[in-house]
Structure 1
Amino acid sequence: MSGRERPGLGELLRYVGELVEQGAEEDYRSLHPAYRPRYTPVLRALAAGAETVTEITARTRVTQGAVSQTIGLMVTDGLVERHGLPDGRKSALRLTPAGQALLGQLTPLWQSTFAAIEALEQEIGHPLLRVLEDTAEALERQGFAARLQAVRGATA
């Protein structure tokens, strides 16, 4: 035995996520010192027309709680502002001029990010994004806890 245990799925997913976020954060910091990679899905959803936390959550694979926390940080950083909707029921969100300027800087960066992902997929010989999307959809259909219980029931 090598002394090193085989990592589990969660451990590998966290590690790969950390490696990707660290690399992206290095790139983002050159554009905006307060930028955090977690802003990306929210910015992309706002750029695509989302106006509320509910709409952002529907357009992303981020929980409503995480979206709300991220919005709070973005408001503090001066990238997003809240405003009332005409019906008065919800508050809406919009990019500030600083947020719009940052979006203009990030759009080409996101294009190169997807090109880097394609190059990574070529290197590893697997469609990584597709595999992760398929995995997320399978776990949405049947959660991991139910899968664990099914395996335990099959071996009991």
Structure 2
Amino acid sequence: MRHTAGLGELLRYTAELVDQGAEQVYRDMGLDYRARYTPVMRALAGGARTVGEITDASRLTQGAISQTVGLMIEQGLLRRQPMAEDARKSALALTAEGQALLRRLEPHWSLIFEAIGTLEAEIGHPLLDALEATARALEQRGFAQRLTEVRGLHR
């Protein structure tokens, strides 16, 4: 019996393929860098300062961002510092090493979006637009609700 991959499986597999390719290029560039750092780096480059702001910018879970931030602090790319407006809270800042890495990554990210464009041309679909529309639809009516509705149709 042939198993047909479901949405979650295909999304995870596609993400793995993208991350593997990106990490290979980072190694080729001589960087000790994980693809999972990119949402944090891009959010910080865009002005985010806290885990919450990075979570909002990236749409990843707070747990995933916190875990990634911890790894980046261990690697010496980030540091926590008290926020001027509320010393009980901390802001994240790139270390000198993190800033140097960001300068190397920003031109590479432009190439990544060009590569995505070639992928979209090859498959004949605006992949980023489709994923964005999918995310918006699921934010409006979650997958659990959709499953419940379909289950109700089969009773």
TM band (smaller chain) = over 0.9
Distance 2:29 2:63 in 1: 27
**Match of residue 11 from structure 1:** 9
Partner secondary structure for residue 93 of structure 2: strand
| Ranges of 4+ aligned residues in structure 1 off by more than 6 Å | none
Report the CA distance between 1:154 and its aligned residue.
1.2
Shift of 1:113: 0.3
Higher relative contact order (CA 8 A, sep 6+): 1
* 2:57 counterpart residue number: 59
Q: Matched residues, percent identical? A: 60
Q: Tell me, which stretches of 5 or more residues in structure 1 are unaligned?
A: none
Structure 2's unaligned 5+ residue stretches are none
Say if 1:34 and 1:77, in contact at 8 Å, map to a contact too: no
The residue that corresponds to 1:152 in the other structure is 151
- 1:48 pairs, out of 25, 35, 46, with 46
**Aligned equivalents of 1:31 and 1:82: distance in 2?**
28
* 1:34 CA drift (Å): 3.1
Alpha-carbon separation, structure 1, partners of 2:89 and 2:28:
35
- Corresponding residue for 1:35? 33
2:80 aligned counterpart, secondary structure? strand
Change (3 A) 1:73 1:23: same
After the TM superposition, which of the residue ranges 121-130 and 136-145 deviates more from structure 2? 136-145
Q: Using the alignment, how far apart are the partners of 2:28 and 2:77 within structure 1?
A: 16
2:83 to 76, 82, 85: 85
Instruction: Supply the distance in 2 between the matched residues of 1:47 and 1:149 (Cα, whole angstroms).
Output: 40
* CA–CA distance in structure 2, aligned partners of residues 33 and 40 of structure 1: 13
Using the TM superposition, give the Cα deviation of residue 32 of structure 1 relative to its aligned residue in structure 2, in angstroms: 5.2
TM-score, normalised via structure 1 length: 0.94
